[in-house]
């Protein structure tokens, strides 16, 4: 068994209808592909219908499950409500919402226009809350329960310069996740989050490590386990969290980053740059004194 392999047994998500925002590309697509493999039916949504349609076609080429592409800008509540109605009319009851859509780019904060800052806040925090409220209200009204899984980042709690709107918005999504985990548990609604470390995707890499930055700031070098994430690793965790196997997990944020954020947090963690010979020398000089 390897970490690049699927973890859950066949049929683990059978009869689950799952809505994935940002499901046409990157990590949303990878998680969706695995859900489909495990027996789920999907609605994948984002702004670009052509991308969604192509993804849906490729995903369903070798499987029997259904993948419905629905265009929706999560910043627009009318589009969100229309997406929800379309999802239900195509698949019936929706059991799981994966809030994965996001927008982000690097910039010194003082260079951001008001519109630039608001654009990221609106996609990430307003978009997630609008999808959550639309689904949650319906689940409560129908007395049916449901499961939310929200994709955040580790800088949701550490903060981070140069991606400040994203950090502020993801912190809000994390607060939303934990708050509703308590408030809506009585309706049979669970809310959890995943905080991924670096997982290569075209969308993230082109905006966060544009041009030569990817060579200069090799993300793998910041990760104690010495590599970036494999999409299947994230898909395995996500599939568990949306499945009934995780029925007692509620209000949790699970980090999957090879230890990256803790390495940045520890005061002396950068001493791993000291070579073994220097530690030998220090040890030897200590020995002489005693
Ligand atoms: C400064 C920028 C900018 C940049 C856009 N803007 N890019 N400002 N630096 N690089 C400004 C624009 O000038 C404009 O402000 C405002 O932002 C809105 O830009 P638009 O292009 O009109 O917005 P829109 O078409 O809605 O596109 C949204 C977007 C874009 C966020 C700007 O990048 C996008 O579509 N992103 C979606 C996918 C994505 O970001 N994926 C990465 C997620 S990765 P003005 O004032 O000029 O009108 C992620 C990982 C986190 O979250 C953790 C990693 C470890
Ligand atoms: P991605 O491929 O760019 O995914 C972002 C998705 O969001 C796209 O499919 C995009 O599709 C959609 N989207 C953007 N704005 C939208 C809007 N207004 N309405 C609806 N959909 C919108 O990047 P990714 O790396 O896979 O990111 C996926 C998630 O993982 C994000 O939440 C991100 O913050 C998180 N994450 C990623 C990493 C990483 O290393 N990759 C690390 C930590 C967290 P359209 O353009 O068609 O709308």
Provide the number of structural domains found in the chain. 1
Q: Is the pLDDT of residue 288 over 80?
A: no
Give me the half-sphere count of Cα atoms (radius 13 Å) on the Cβ side of residue 108: 2
Express each pLDDT in 101-150 by its tens digit: 999 999 999 999 999 999 999 999 999 999 999 999 999 999 999 999 99
- Looking at residue 48, what is its pLDDT? 98
pLDDT above 80 (res 289):
no
Catalytic residue list contains 248: no
The rounded Å distance from CA 278 to ligand 2 centre is 44
For ligand 2, the distance from its centroid to the CA atom of residue 203, given in whole angstroms, is 7
* Domain-embedded: residue 1: no
| pLDDT tens for each residue of 241-275 | 999 999 999 999 999 999 999 999 999 999 999 99
Total Cβ atoms within 10 A of residue 8: 18
Q: What is the mean pLDDT of residues 1-28?
A: 97
Pocket lined around ligand 1, Cβ cut-off 6 Å:
102-105, 107, 112-113, 115-116, 119-120, 153, 166, 198, 203-204, 207-208
Domain of residue 199 covers: 17-289
2 in a domain, yes or no? no
pTM for this structure?
0.97
Element (H, E) at 193: strand 189-196
Is the C-beta atom of 199 inside 6 A of ligand 2? yes
pLDDT averaged over the chain? Answer: 97
153: in domain: yes
Which of the following is catalytic: 34, 155, 187, 240?
155
Contact by Cβ (8 Å): 183, 81: no
Determine, yes or no, domain membership for 4.
no
3-state helix, strand, coil in the chain (%, to 5): 55, 15, 35
> Average pLDDT, stretch 143-162?
98
* Residue 195 resides in a domain: yes
Q: Is the pLDDT of residue 290 over 60?
A: no
Q: Do the domain assignments include residue 86?
A: yes
Tell me whether residue 5 is in a domain. Answer: no
Q: Give the per-residue pLDDT at 197.
A: 98
Does the structure show a pLDDT above 60 at 29? Answer: yes
| Residue 89's pLDDT band (cuts 50, 70, 90) | very high
CATH number at residue 25: 3.40.50.720
CA angle 119, 121, 124 (to 5 degrees): 105
The token pair at 265 is 């947090």
Is 142 among the domain residues?
Answer: yes
Give residue-wise pLDDT tens across range 217-250. 999 999 999 999 999 999 999 999 999 999 999 9
Give the separation between CA 101 and CA 105, rounded to whole angstroms.
14
């Amino acid at each position: 068994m390897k970490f690049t392999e699927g973890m859950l047994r066949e049929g683990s998500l059978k009869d689950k209808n799952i809505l994935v925002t940002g499901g046409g590309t990157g990590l949303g697509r990878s998680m969706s592909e695995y859900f489909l493999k495990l027996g789920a039916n999907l609605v994948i949504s984002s702004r670009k219908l052509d991308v969604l349609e192509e993804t849906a076609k490729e995903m369903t080429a070798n499987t029997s499950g259904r993948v419905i592409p629905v265009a929706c800008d999560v910043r627009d509540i009318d589009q969100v409500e229309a997406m929800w109605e379309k999802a239900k009319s195509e698949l019936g009851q929706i059991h799981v919402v994966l809030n994965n859509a996001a927008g982000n780019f690097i910039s010194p904060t003082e260079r951001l226009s008001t519109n630039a800052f608001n654009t990221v806040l609106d996609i990430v925090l307003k978009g997630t809350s609008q999808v959550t409220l639309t689904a949650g209200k319906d689940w409560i009204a129908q007395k049916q329960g449901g499961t939310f899984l929200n994709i955040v980042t580790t800088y949701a709690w550490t903060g981070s310069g140069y991606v400040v709107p994203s950090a502020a918005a993801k912190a809000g999504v994390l607060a939303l996740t934990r708050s509703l985990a308590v408030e809506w548990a009585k309706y049979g609604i669970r809310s959890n989050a995943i905080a991924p470390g670096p997982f290569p995707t075209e969308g993230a890499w082109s905006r966060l490590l544009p041009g030569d930055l990817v060579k200069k700031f090799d993300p793998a070098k910041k990760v104690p386990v010495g590599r970036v994430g494999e999409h299947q690793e994230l898909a395995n965790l996500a599939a568990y969290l949306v499945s009934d196997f995780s029925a007692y997990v509620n209000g949790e944020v699970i980090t999957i980053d090879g230890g990256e954020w803790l390495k940045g947090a520890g005061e002396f963690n950068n001493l791993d740059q000291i070579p073994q010979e220097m530690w030998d020398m220090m040890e030897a000089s200590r020995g002489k004194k005693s």
